[in-house]
Amino acid sequence: MYCVKCGVRLHDGVERCPLCQTPVWNPDGAEPAHRSFSAVYPEEENRRRYPILAFLTAILIAVDLALLIFCLRIYGKVAWSGYVMLATAVVYLIVFLPLWINKPHPLVFVPLSFAVVGGYLLYICLVTGGHWFLPFAFPVVLIIGLITTAAVACYRYLRHGKLFVTGGLFLAIGGAAMLIEMFEAIAFGTRMWTWSLYVVAGFATVGIFLLLAGIIRPLREYLEKKFFL
Amino acid sequence: MAKTWMRLDNAALIFPATRKSKWVNCFRVSATLREAVDPALLQQAVNDLKPRFPSMFVRLRKGVFWYYLEQIDTPPMVHQDYAFPLPHMGAQEIGTCCLRVLYFENRIGVEFFHALTDGTGGMIFLKTLTARYLELAHDIRIPATDGILDRTEAPQPEELEDSFQRYASKYPLRIKENEVKHFGGTRTPGFQFLTTGILPTDQLVKAAHRYDATVTAFLAAVMAQVLLEKQALEEPRLSLQKPIQICIPVNLRKLYGSRTLRNFALTVYPGVDPRLGSYTLEELCKAVTSQLAAEVTPQKMAGRMAPNVNPANNPLIRAAPLFIKNIVMQLVYNVRGENFGCLNVSNLGRQTLPENMAPFVERLEFIIGVQQTYSNNCSVASFGETTCVNMIRNIRESDIERRFFSRLVELGVPVSIESNECNYRAQ
């Protein structure tokens, strides 16, 4: 059989030309296609990490339990061991939990990480009797979490326009700095515009430069060539 | 007690340093027999070859200053071929054994980490392995000719030598290469497409001779024409087009009479600049042939080896810790390693086998893996009346091989196509 488009000879039984995907008409009826390779896929070489992860998990649990017992015996309450235990839990959820999964989805784990950090700050706020969580910590974590998640989603799903995304990210960080300073002023009564304008100036300059590089092709090609990794 | 480890040859130094978690420089040679392969006999043949090929049955180890190859005690187990050629060789596998021996139906395949050897060395190993397999399967004696080594002989020192050290000039030849167009596409992580074009050798040679070119130059010229057309379609503005150069590895053994089984090849980059005008196939063949003739001389090749060999012999560089060398080599490879070729056309040439072995063998094939930055590669090997042109890619788009094989058909070379496309499953 021959492909009518490419002119190449094909194995009996193939349904489409592998070069141009043109359907092949087989007048003698369908025959089983010839396989030039087996259907066996190689195993990924990543199983070795599971015993190490299990070992590290056991160590963290053991350290946390030891601290808890220590505090309960000395102070009769959870005391500072609560901070340590929750801090290790935060690190575990952010760093180690994704390692258990073969292909952790960043759009699940990035927002989860920020939620965990927010929860930890809420715990500290409640234990210390502070009033800074709702006016300051929550909006700050929310803003940074939203920007990070949006950036990850853009990098993951957009095939083109990475420079625009990076430029936008820099501008967003500048904007976030202003918002954070605003929440700081609301929560703690500090003065506005003491530090965020410097951050805005720096990040906005880089962001605008990247947007320009996205628009001006020769500049973009020069940067790609020079900073290729 | 014989030394059980060896330094990497000069060309091999770059391969461990540049490997990534998802990419490593590998290649494959395979022999398709006229009968089904018996895995037990193949394993026996592999075991029998171990003493004869001390530079092949090795694993990669880290020293403080350099990587080195350490002989392994047990030859690798043969196993069934995978759904696609050259699956990633991870650090764990390379640290256990740097080659794989595979079988599928009638085919024996060997995949090498490139630090061990090059295509010619790999083909010698494959031929000797296939000969030993056929000896065991048919109780015959195959003579050690046509690139087959006598397995009962001891390994010769010149087979294990780093020929770069021996033949490199003291004076480097600096050549300014153009940065060229690289073609990309939609990556297919975890899968590599292989399209094999099976061509009648005599008609391919006739077509090449019509253009006063060798088969390698002719195939490179056809490929260059295809890439010029593709670039013109993708970027119609002439001022933004880039030169098209084909990376052609040259076997230096013939040039210097070396018998080494380790890496001894260098690449040249014949090509044209589309901004200077359009080219007919005849002009492309002439350009590639003349550039190859000008570059592939013992003197120029010795000068081309020097920029790689001299730094590796510098005492200060030798004394630098391995991790620093790795960083530097990675940077050098990123900046210069793959910038000068659009894709490789690697031709192992016409292979021969002893008279009493040839009837058992249908095809000999050669497949090089994709590069780090470009997604298509082409490798060629001929045996008997058949030339196999293997085009590998790790992208979905098949337009380069479609245009290439269609152009060969237009030039009067019939092409029969095989593909592993049916094995592709989206990740």
Q: List the pLDDT tens digit at each of the 427 positions of chain B.
A: 567 889 999 999 999 988 887 788 999 999 999 999 999 999 999 999 999 999 999 999 988 889 999 999 999 999 999 999 999 998 899 999 999 999 999 999 999 999 999 999 999 999 999 999 999 999 999 999 999 999 999 999 999 999 999 999 999 988 777 788 889 899 888 899 999 999 999 999 999 999 999 999 999 999 999 999 999 999 999 988 999 999 999 999 999 999 999 999 999 999 999 999 999 999 999 999 999 999 999 999 999 999 989 988 898 998 899 999 999 998 888 887 788 899 999 999 999 999 999 999 999 999 999 998 889 999 999 999 999 999 999 999 999 999 999 999 999 999 999 999 888 865 5
Residues of chain A contacting B199 with CB distance shorter than 8 Å? none
CA angle B93, B99, B101 (to 5 degrees): 110
User: CA B211, CA B405: separation in Å to the nearest integer?
Assistant: 18
User: CA B52, CA B68: separation in Å to the nearest integer?
Assistant: 19
Domain boundary assignment for chain B: 5-164, 193-423
Nearest residue to B51 (alpha-carbon basis) of B205, B125, B142, B154: B154
Class for domain B5-164, per CATH? alpha beta
How many CB atoms sit inside 10 A of residue B77's CB? 11
User: CA B131, CA B144: separation in Å to the nearest integer?
Assistant: 9
CATH number of B193-423: 3.30.559.30
DSSP state of B395: B
What is the torsional sign of CA B168, B172, B177, B182?
positive
Residues of chain A contacting B409 with CB distance shorter than 8 Å? 6-8
Q: Is residue B338 less than 8 Å (CB to CB) from chain A? A: no
Closest partner residue to A9 among B334, B398, B414, by Cβ?
B414
User: CA B141, CA B130: separation in Å to the nearest integer?
Assistant: 12
Flag whether A133 is in a domain: no
Nearest residue to B270 (alpha-carbon basis) of B211, B205, B219, B231: B219
Q: Strand pairing partners for B58?
A: B71
Query: Range of A222's domain?
Result: 142-229
Contact B222, B407 (CB under 8 A): yes
Angle between helices A196-215 and A162-188 (to 10 degrees): 170
Residue ranges of B 341-380 with Cβ closer than 8 A to chain A: none
Flag whether A62 is in a domain: no
Contact B402 A11 (CB under 8 A): no
Angle between helices B119-138 and B39-49 (to 10 degrees): 120
In chain A, how many domains are there?
2
Calculate how close chain A gets to B335, using CA atoms only, in Å. 8
ipTM over 0.90: no
User: CA B139, CA B129: separation in Å to the nearest integer?
Assistant: 15
Alpha helices (H) in B19-149, listed in sequence order: 39-49, 91-94, 119-138
Instruction: Determine the distance from the C-alpha atom of residue B166 to the mean position of all C-alpha atoms in its chain, rounded to a whole number.
Output: 22
Q: Is residue B410 less than 8 Å (CB to CB) from chain A? A: yes
Flag whether A217 is in a domain: yes
Residues of chain B contacting A7 with CB distance shorter than 8 Å? 406, 409-410, 415
Q: B193-423: same fold as B5-164?
A: yes
Contact B337, B15 (CB under 8 A): no
Work out whether strand A9-10 and strand B416-419 pair parallel, antiparallel, or are unpaired.
parallel
Nearest residue to A33 (alpha-carbon basis) of A19, A9, A12, A17: A12
